[in-house]
Amino acid sequence: MSSMNETGLSELLHDATEDLPARDLVASAWAQGRVVRRRRRAGVVAGVVALVATAVAVPMVVAGGGSSGRPEPAPPAATSPSTEDEVGVATLPVWDPFTLADAPRGESVLPEVVAPPERLPPDVLDNPLPAAVLAWPEEGRDLMLLGTDGEWRCVPGTADAVTGTLDDVLRPSLSSDGHRVAMATNDGVLVVDVTEGTQQLLPWPDEIAAPSDTIPDVAWMPGEQTVLVHHWKGGWLLGLDGSAAPAPYDAAYPPPFVDPDGPVRQHLFDDRLLVEWDGDRRVDEVPTDWWGERYATRFGLVGFTGAVGGRRAGPVVVSADDARVVAYAPTRDRASVYSDNGYLSVIGFLDPSTALIKVAPMSFRTMDLGEETWHLVAWDFESGEFSTLTQGATGMRRISVAVDAVR
Amino acid sequence: MSVVGVDVGDEQAYTAWAAGCQQRLLRSALLLTGDLARAEDLVQEALVKVAVRWTRLRDGNPTAYARTVIHHDHVSWWRRHRRESPAPTRDRHDERPAHDTETERRMVVLTALARLTRAQRAVLVLRHFDDLSERETAEILGVSVGTVKSQNAAALARLRTGAPELLDLIGRIS
């Protein structure tokens, strides 16, 4: 290759890449960099305090790398070819949850930062709430409820209601209006009416009463008179009237999800079908070409964390009628942070164009577990805008939210 | 206003710098990897690392630092995934009619570059796309100038014998 052809090679390399699509990677990079700087600074301050307190020279390690100016060797996660064009969503921008640091605040009854009180709040049985907007479980503490009036309450006697499992933390489920909260315990499903200060225990049917390694999740059926138990042996429906019956839904994962106003739906991944149930009848099924987990449904829509056509997981909204993708915000999802590791979930719909998302910007490469900040986010998927409703520390990962009480 | 030692002026300066170079870095990373999604990840990672160190880099050469990050991260990734198929992949922009000459040209280039070793490809991109000197290339890759010379010569020789379609394209534009 002559020198003239070397010049030709240079021109060819430029020509071959000249029309690449323009991507805005800058804003999210600065936001993510700011998070890392803050964390390092917090680590340095904590280290200095520790040094002063102990007067002992201890080597200080700050997560995320040193200050040598050399780049860290850790590589980005593996990627695979994108086929997003196949489903017509190629033009969607990649959403980086780290940009939530600069997102506008959305309308909500929730405080800007939510954190349960250090001292146990008053008992909800003696001090009812107008409604609870979120339920906050913590290991070894009674379940705490945040009212729509901003007051905290506890559900007495629940600190040790789950024992002998691999993770002895309650998994509460608030009804969409925030009037009731249900939670699986060792003895059955405890249901508390937070507006009246009453409670009742729905005993376990014999079929699912045996001890389990994990306590099952529960969900409210429409009308808030029946609780759906997602037991690994199969679903059960427990009525507030004392009734108990096996649920007709498929026992496969992911479990069925309930529209507060209507049907129960389920995505049968192996069959690639989105199915709809009316009572114990399967009344509709439509083929799907996406995968997902952690589903919510309402307004004829289904929301979940998943991916459409390609590798990038993110929040997705599809039409319940035909499984057509309505909205999709792909993330980079390195190390499956937002998908398999659960740092992003669609937990409901605030209105027909706004999904409620629980998400924690996270990088396993630069952050330690527990360092993340969780956000409740309103995703206006018609405009593509994200606004934060509240944020909190790592314990917020386990909260249940009464979707209709948020605004 | 100062936020953890970085003020608004820093953000503006960073934004101006990053906006000015991100597309160039992306093009270079695509030539390096052959995969647009991976190229985006590499550039994003490099921009974040520059942002973290902006107060120390702003008066120096942040672009050189970003290039170094991209190449180091790519090497790390390659070491972990070298058993996987190295074939170039079609990116979103390639989902256009076959008669699109720009798309066709890119596929030819990426296919040709895939015939090079990782080190040869890195040298070729830095020397002939980023237009860096042998010394600058050596500093970014952490090798000697002699190695850059030999890798560059080997890369050109391999393309000459193994990628006639590339020669054809060069002939068309020269």
Give pLDDT tens digits for B32-52.
Answer: 999 888 898 899 989 988 998
B97 and A CB contact within 8 Å: no
Which range scores top for mean pLDDT: A66-80, A315-329, B104-118?
A315-329
DSSP-derived letter for residue B3 is: E
CA distance A350 to A407: 8
CA distance A214 to A131: 29
- The ipTM estimated for the assembled molecules is 0.85
**Single-letter amino acid, residue A125:** L
Number of Cβ within 10 Å of residue A81's Cβ equals 17
Contact A19, B105 (CB under 8 A): no
Give pLDDT tens digits for A387-397.
Answer: 999 999 999 99
**Which candidate in A9, A98, A366 is best for mutational testing of the B interface (most B CBs within 10 A)?**
A9
Beta bridge partners of A307: A291
**Tell me, what's the pLDDT at A149?**
95
**Tell me, what's the pLDDT at B89?**
46
Residues 6+ apart with CB under 8 A from B106: A16, A17, B93, B94
**Tell me, what's the pLDDT at B172?**
61
The pLDDT mean for chain A works out to: 84
In the block, which residue shows the tokens 């306590």?
A215
Query: What average pLDDT score do residues A175-198 get?
Result: 96
A72 and B CB contact within 8 Å: yes
Question: How far is the first Cα of chain A from the last one, in angstroms, to the nearest whole number?
Answer: 68
Report the chain A residue with the minimal C-alpha distance to residue B6. Answer: A34
SS3 A221: coil
**Single-letter amino acid, residue A147:** G
Query: What average pLDDT score do residues B15-25 get?
Result: 89
- Is residue A80 scored above 50 in pLDDT? no
Which of the two residues, A46 and A72, has the higher pLDDT score?
A: A46
pLDDT band at B26 (very low <50, low <70, confident <90, very high): very high
Burial A360-397 (b: 16+ CB within 10 A, else e): bbbbebbbeeebbbbbbbbbbbeeeebbbbbbbbebbe
CA atoms within 13 Å, Cβ hemisphere of A186: 13
CA atoms within 13 Å, Cβ hemisphere of A296: 27
Chain B contact set for A9 (CB, 8 A): 128, 156, 159, 166, 170
Which range scores top for mean pLDDT: A38-52, A218-232, A246-260, B53-67?
A218-232
pLDDT band at B171 (very low <50, low <70, confident <90, very high): low
Which range scores top for mean pLDDT: A52-61, A104-113, B87-96, B132-141?
A104-113
B170 and A CB contact within 8 Å: yes
Q: Which range (A23-37, A62-76, A88-102) has the least confidence?
A: A62-76
Give A331-362 as a DSSP string. Answer: ---GGGTTTTT-SEEEEEEEETTEEEEEE---
**Tell me, what's the pLDDT at A242?**
94
Token representation of residue B114: 């895939």
CA distance A320 to A310: 21
Q: Which CATH architecture has domain B98-174?
A: Orthogonal Bundle (1.10)
- Is residue B151 scored above 70 in pLDDT? yes
Which range scores top for mean pLDDT: A146-155, A163-172, B82-91?
A146-155
Burial B69-107 (b: 16+ CB within 10 A, else e): bbbbbbbbbbeeeeeeeeebbbbbbbeeeeeeebbbbbb
Instruction: Show which of residues 323-342 on chain A sit within 8 Å of chain B, judged by CB atoms.
Output: 332, 334
Question: How far is the first Cα of chain B from the last one, in angstroms, to the nearest whole number?
Answer: 53
Say whether A12 and B173 touch across the interface (CB within 8 A).
yes
From B42, B72, B128, residue closest to A6, measured CB to CB:
B128
Beta bridge partners of A148: none
Torsion region of A34: left, alpha or beta (phi above 0 gives left; psi -120 to 50 gives alpha):
alpha
**Single-letter amino acid, residue A341:** N
Token representation of residue A151: 């007051």
Number of Cβ within 10 Å of residue A140's Cβ equals 8
B1-83 CATH fold: Rna Polymerase Sigma Factor; Chain: A (1.10.1740)
B10 and A CB contact within 8 Å: no
**Tell me, what's the pLDDT at A50?**
44
CA distance B173 to B8: 45
Q: How far out from the chain centre does Cα A374 lie?
A: 9
SS3 A395: helix
Q: Rounded to the nearest 5°, which phi and psi values hold at A348? A: 165, -175
CA distance B104 to A67: 44
Domain residue spans of chain B: 1-83, 98-174
DSSP-derived letter for residue A249 is: S
